[in-house]
Chain A
Amino acid sequence: MKKSYKIEVDCANCANKMEEAAKKTPGVKDAVVNFMTLKMNVEFEEGQDAKTVMEAVRKNCKKIEDDCEIYL
């Protein structure tokens, strides 16, 4: 399952870090953050609930870059 989320982040390197953080979150198969379009495309692993996984992704992203936001 793939989903796209709108994000808010100020610098390009922070966007890369968010991508890293999202990829490492359990339940996420793959994640791509596009800094220019401010979008995060997440592919979830089979049988995962997108909502709970995304809460975790958001938390992990906040950890590496306090100023970012993911609109769930």
Chain B
Amino acid sequence: MTKKQKKVLIRIITAAVLMVALELLPVTGYVRFVLFLVPYLILGYDILKKAVKGILNRQVFDENFLMAVATIGAIALGEYTEGAAVMLFYQIGELFQSYAVGKSRKNISELMDIRPDYANIERNGTLERVDPDEVEIGSIIVVQPGEKVPIDGVVIKGRSTLNTSALTGESLPREIEEGAEIISGCINMTGVLKIRTSKEFGESTVSKILELVENSSSKKSRSENFISKFARYYTPAVCGGAVVLAVLPPLVRLAAMGLSPEWSVWIYRALTFLVISCPCALVISIPLSFFAGIGGASKEGILVKGSNYLETLSQTRYVVFDKTGTLTQGVFEVSGIHHNRMEEQRLLEYAAHAESASSHPISRSLKEAYGKEIDRSRVTDVEEIGGNGVLAKVDGVRVAAGNDKLMEKLGVEYHPCHHVGTVVHVAIDGAYAGHILISDQLKPTAKEAVAALGRAKVERLVMLTGDAANVAKHTAEELNITEVYSQLLPADKVAKVEELLESKRGKAKLAFVGDGINDAPVLSRADIGIAMGALGSDAAIEAADVVLMDDDPVKIAKAIKISEKCMRIVYENIAFAIGIKMICLILGALGIANMWLAIFADVGVMVLAVLNAIRALFVKKL
């Protein structure tokens, strides 16, 4: 609790004790009035003060003013207990609200506590802490175990494991070693790392993310706008109702029905209206729900740029994927070795060595699959045949590695491959030795991700890709995606998404998921653009509305579920708060609800709405 809140708490407790004591004292008349003024003023002096200031500034519909009128009115009618009690519960409500809001602010900012406070720079053999802002590009910084990596760069010395959970929600540590790129915001866990910075602090990942998080929810959702508009009309309307209630029924009774006007009864009911007219319960719970929802999502490594996007996300019915890098890993790997006449490892060894001079991605995949150091001195007489493959001598043995055409050219009988991907045939000393299949691998969770989306309310899943038709079809079949469009250029993707946008009905929204590398136009064209694997990609962070920090496609369904939960809470709160207020207004007008009930309902609704809003933060099990 802050100092301010503690002070209010002390005032509340003192006044409550005094009020209970006064109830038990057998005093009546003026003495009772004067005695009740003590707790009343202890509780309400600041509200009365603000009410006066409000009047001076012509703020008639100020809550403080309304509370002041209601309570002073009650006291004037001789309802001392009620006047003081309304003030008491009003203050309790305000205190609870400010405590709850402060608490969730703190919780959520702690979640995103990734801001590094300093960077270590080595000067004259000693480590010096400097402001990360002052570190120039190309400087060498040192990150010790337990410290946050302050600036993006490349590791030039040391190996370690990194905890990226604050960024990605992924609890598995990442290994890092010399030569690898390192992203700011990770926590270095085991070894000392020397890093050459490649960006300024302001351009580093951690700064970009913080900027995004801090500016999120500045774009308000329709629900938020609705509620603030509602509040703008609600208070004046209820106050108007109060005036009518205080004046009209007594006059009607007096003039038309010849009954006694019962002024005090109707004024009391009007004052009950004023107690209910305060819109704070409504107004607080909606932004708090969104804030908690965005906070909960960011804990899972899902950054949502505003509450409007959270709202849109919950209405997602079409999900359009980019294939490469989104559903597949976007790196080519050896996925099979077939018809081999020798050990797989041996075949790989020959192929990798033969291709070692080439910088082609295929040669890289072969090297990776081989997994051992390539000894270039074993390779002689390398001859690259453009578009076909390579001829070379490895350990003096003639090796040919390439496609069907190469084999035909050499007159070697080969086994065509019926799998999808790039095929490297290998012939050794002119005899066929088998082929190696290289293909883009599905992400391990891609299948699960598609299935999870199917379970969500998503109606249509579409895959777009620039790849060849057979590769695209194969991937889609494996993932159970029925709609595939292949061989698309980036501009075609935009056109396709526009076509899909046209075809959807009503409130359904279309989400496009890409890796952000060359699909920025599509990301911004879709109702909601989701960029994944955004760690280290500024372009993606900028173009997308929702950013998945790691590249796990399962998070797409998770993001939708989080948004649905959040929106459910928002609607619950709107319906609940407005509903209870309306019921209280009706009961108050009929004289069934007294001021006690009105203030209980008012504070109670707020407490429940706030507690409900905080539920949006818990998204782990979704």
A residues near B (Cβ < 8 Å) are: 4, 10-13, 16, 19-20, 32, 34-39, 41, 63-67
Contact = CB atoms under 8 A, between A and B. Distances in A.
A39 B214 contact: yes
Interface in B34-59: 50, 53-54, 57, 59
B45 to A, nearest CB: 14
A64 B53 CA distance: 9
A32 B287 CA distance: 13
Interface in B205-226: 214-215, 217-220
Given A16-B283, A63-B57, A10 B231 contact: no
Nearest to B108: A36
B231 A67 contact: no
Contacts of B384: none
B94 A41 contact: no
Contacts of B53: 66
Contacts of A12: 101, 280, 283-284, 287-288
Contact of A32 (B218, B284, B291): B218
A64 B57 contact: yes
B280 A13 contact: yes
A12 B59 CA distance: 17
Nearest to A62: B57
Contact of B94 (A11, A35, A38): A11
A13 B105 contact: no
A42 to B, nearest CB: 11
B363 to A, nearest CB: 49
Nearest to A67: B50
A10 B98 CA distance: 7
B50 A66 contact: yes
A16 to B, nearest CB: 4
A36 B101 contact: yes
Contacts of B57: 63-64, 66
Interface residues of B, number: 30
A32 B284 CA distance: 16
B97 interface: yes
Closest A-B pairs by Cβ, 8 of them: A36-B291, A12-B284, A12-B283, A13-B283, A16-B228, A63-B57, A66-B53, A32-B218
Interface string B103-118: 0110000000000000
A13 B50 contact: no
A39 B94 CA distance: 21
Nearest to B290: A36
Contacts of A65: 62
Contacts of B231: 13, 16
A8 B352 CA distance: 64
A16 B226 CA distance: 12
B63 interface: yes
A35 to B, nearest CB: 5
B59 A64 contact: yes
Contacts of A39: 214, 218
Interface in B72-116: 94, 97-98, 101, 104-105
Nearest to A64: B59
A32 B220 contact: yes
B220 A36 contact: no
Contacts of B220: 32
Interface in B244-266: none
Main secondary structure, interface of B, reads helix
Nearest to B213: A37
7 contacts: A11-B284, A16-B231, A16-B283, A32-B219, A36-B101, A66-B53, A66-B54
Contacts of A13: 63, 231, 279-280, 283-284
Nearest to B229: A16
Contacts of B215: 4, 41
A60 B280 CA distance: 21
Contacts of A11: 63, 94, 97, 280, 283-284
A32 B216 CA distance: 12
Contacts of B218: 32, 34, 37, 39, 41
Nearest to A19: B228
Contacts of A66: 50, 53-54, 57
Most buried by B among A4, A32, A36, A64: A36
A13 B234 CA distance: 12
Nearest to B291: A36
Given A37-B218, A38-B105, A41-B215, 19 more contacts: A11-B63, A11-B97, A12-B101, A12-B280, A12-B287, A13-B280, A32-B218, A34-B217, A35-B287, A36-B217, A36-B287, A36-B290, A39-B218, A63-B57, A64-B57, A64-B59, A66-B50, A66-B53, A67-B50
Nearest to B49: A66
A34 B305 CA distance: 13
B615 to A, nearest CB: 16
A11 B283 CA distance: 9
B279 to A, nearest CB: 6
B217 A37 contact: yes
A54 B215 CA distance: 19
A10 B59 CA distance: 17
Contacts of B104: 36
Nearest to B231: A13
Interface string B274-287: 00000110011001
A1 to B, nearest CB: 15
A64 B59 CA distance: 6
B63 A36 contact: no
A37 B62 CA distance: 23
Contact of B288 (A4, A16, A36, A67): A36
Contacts of B214: 4, 37, 39
A18 to B, nearest CB: 11
A36 B50 contact: no
A13 B232 CA distance: 9
A37 B283 CA distance: 15
A67 B51 CA distance: 12
Contacts of A38: 105
Contacts of B283: 11-13, 16
A27 to B, nearest CB: 20
B610 to A, nearest CB: 10
A38 B619 CA distance: 24
